[in-house]
Amino acid sequence: MRHLSRFTISLGLTCAFVMPAFADEPAAKNVILMISDGIGFNGWLAADYYQGKAGSQSYQIARPDGTEPRLYGQTHWSVNPVDENGNLVGDDEADQAAGVVEQYYDPTTRWNRFENTFLNDFAPVGQSYTSYTDSSSAATALYTGRKTVNGRINKDWKGEIDFVTIAQIANAQGRATGAVSTVQVSHATPGAVWSHAASRNSYADIFNDMVGSGLDVIMGAGHPDFDRSGRRLEDGAERDYKFVGGEETWTALTSEEGHNDFAFIEEKSDFEALAAGENLPRKVVGVMQSISTAQSDRSDLDADEANPSGMAFAENVPSLATMTQASLNVLNQNETGFFVMIEGGAVDWMGHANDMPRYIEEQIDFNLAVDAAIEWIEENSNWEETLLIVTSDHETGGIWGEGTYANGSGPAVADPSDKEAIEAARFDPTQDRFNDYLAVQDRGAGSMPGYQFSSGNHTNELVPLWAIGSGSQLFDEARRVDVRAAKLWGNDAAYDWDGSFIDNTSVFDVMNRVLSTDHLESRAGL
Ligand SMILES: [Zn+2]
């Protein structure tokens, strides 16, 4: 097994396979994968309702040329080194051959018990079994088509074997590649676009992998000179360089000579200039002026009632829409095409915090970035040569409609600043009573939807996936159906969805197929 994997890796990296086009095998020059981190159907709907755009976002409706988006659910389970009872697997050869425990997603048993999708919130201390994935394991599946345990980045469950990522494949084919995020550039989802690490927490190594790789565009947060609200640190203040590869890498990157041929930018106006197409470098690292995230962690700024949270946005960081346009302009200089992953990374963080106003702010920022990507595609490319995938990596917070469960000991919805109230508001099977699965309720544009958080962690709930453009139909080959989920969020209720769902490994599979087929020949053959 191990020998086979190594063989596959070297094959993938040394030969840039371009398959001859078959009559009905779709191909794409460019693939844009947009990930809103940590959001399922209910969270997605919450922001769509707030925007007054449920079912009518740019990626949810037919495009001007008639191209229709396809909507699927997506499963994202990882594998566990222990079973549900906390017993280690892999103690002997037979177990190792069998591998590890797969969490799986079963559309029939999922609905038997409310807390099925967030099981280890109640597990005894010391057991590492979870019924849900983390971001690094999910990213590994999305980018390599391989499942692994939580915490690993593009490595097998033992942390020994490297998996080949879609960015490495695209690079070997001569394409440009990029990773863009609203959180630290070396965080799990952007970091996994190229890097390999036994632990997602080795940020400095992950960043050094990124700037030593074939990536052409790297954009995100993690700037050591700024705090969480975008304020510059005082000269003598202690600085944290880990998200940008350590002090040595940072010094090289920001010096006159630069580092590994990367141009370096940090000012909001620099990102905006690239978004306007001005003075495009071939390779760029953009680290926005925040140590943490673009906006979600800001504090002590002026009031602004126009925002769901009531607080003004930090003004010195770019929006994800700006970074999206900037990255696409840079990558598009490569005539062979490109692969890019663009992440709204802090939706997940606000899901952990059970902070619905800021959760919605982050998802609106993501939605505007998808609008920007679509505008860019329709101006600079088209749906016959570009595939756009809009999805998430897992759900966070266990968001349901108001009244889904009766809280025996705490509030149904808590003030995001009151940590104890948040804890008490979450679902506790020993005290609370589950009523019925309810979708979040629409209270009109500009108003908070009806919602309840049930968890402070990730869940194994289905997340949505919209695919538009060349190759989007390939997802049909791997689909199954969750009829119960379709009744909640589809069947024309909010989204036009029949309950079809695919696994996150199919995202890699489809991207790999469309990038590995000659798109010019494929189009000529049609
Ligand atoms: Zn995530």
- Ligand 1 mean position to 465 CA, how many Å? 15
- Ligand 1 mean position to 394 CA, how many Å? 6
Q: How far apart are CA 182 and CA 463, in angstroms?
A: 20
Q: What is the pTM of this model?
A: 0.93
- Ligand 1 mean position to 280 CA, how many Å? 31
- Ligand 1 mean position to 199 CA, how many Å? 15
pLDDT for 108: 87
- Ligand 1 mean position to 420 CA, how many Å? 24
Q: Where do the DSSP E strands lie in 328-430? A: 338-344, 386-391, 395-396, 399-400, 405-406
- Ligand 1 mean position to 136 CA, how many Å? 7
- Ligand 1 mean position to 242 CA, how many Å? 20
For the chain, count helices (H), then strands (E): 16, 19
Sign of the torsion formed by the C-alpha atoms of 249, 317, 360 and 504: negative
- Ligand 1 mean position to 393 CA, how many Å? 5
- Ligand 1 mean position to 182 CA, how many Å? 13
pLDDT for 263: 97
Write the pLDDT tens digit of every residue in 238-259. Answer: 999 999 999 999 999 999 999 9
- Ligand 1 mean position to 135 CA, how many Å? 4
- Ligand 1 mean position to 348 CA, how many Å? 6
- Ligand 1 mean position to 442 CA, how many Å? 26
- Ligand 1 mean position to 270 CA, how many Å? 28
Q: How far apart are CA 463 and CA 132, in angstroms?
A: 12
- Ligand 1 mean position to 237 CA, how many Å? 31
- Ligand 1 mean position to 38 CA, how many Å? 5
Report how far apart the first and last C-alpha atoms of the chain are (Å, whole number).
Answer: 39
Ligand 1 ion: Cβ-proximal residues, 5 Å cutoff = 37-38, 135, 348, 393
- Ligand 1 mean position to 181 CA, how many Å? 12
Please give the single-letter amino acid code of residue 449.
Answer: P
Q: Residues 71, 465: contact at Cβ < 8 Å?
A: yes
SS3 state of residue 338: strand
- Ligand 1 mean position to 351 CA, how many Å? 10
pLDDT for 125: 45
- Ligand 1 mean position to 28 CA, how many Å? 27
Q: Residues 142, 393: contact at Cβ < 8 Å?
A: yes
- Ligand 1 mean position to 510 CA, how many Å? 21
pLDDT for 15: 46
pLDDT for 525: 44
pLDDT for 81: 74
In DSSP terms, 450 is beta-bridged to 441
- Ligand 1 mean position to 59 CA, how many Å? 21
- Ligand 1 mean position to 37 CA, how many Å? 5
- Ligand 1 mean position to 236 CA, how many Å? 34
Phi–psi pair at 96, nearest 5 degrees: -65, -35
Please give the single-letter amino acid code of residue 277.
Answer: G
- Ligand 1 mean position to 458 CA, how many Å? 8
State the pairing for strand pair 399-400/70-75.
unpaired
Phi–psi pair at 162, nearest 5 degrees: -80, 140
Q: How far apart are CA 77 and CA 62, in angstroms?
A: 31
- Ligand 1 mean position to 524 CA, how many Å? 39
- Ligand 1 mean position to 349 CA, how many Å? 9
Write the pLDDT tens digit of every residue in 92-112. Answer: 555 554 556 677 899 988 999
Q: How far apart are CA 151 and CA 199, in angstroms?
A: 5
- Ligand 1 mean position to 518 CA, how many Å? 32
Which parts of the chain register pLDDT below 70? 1-23, 83-101, 120-128, 520-526
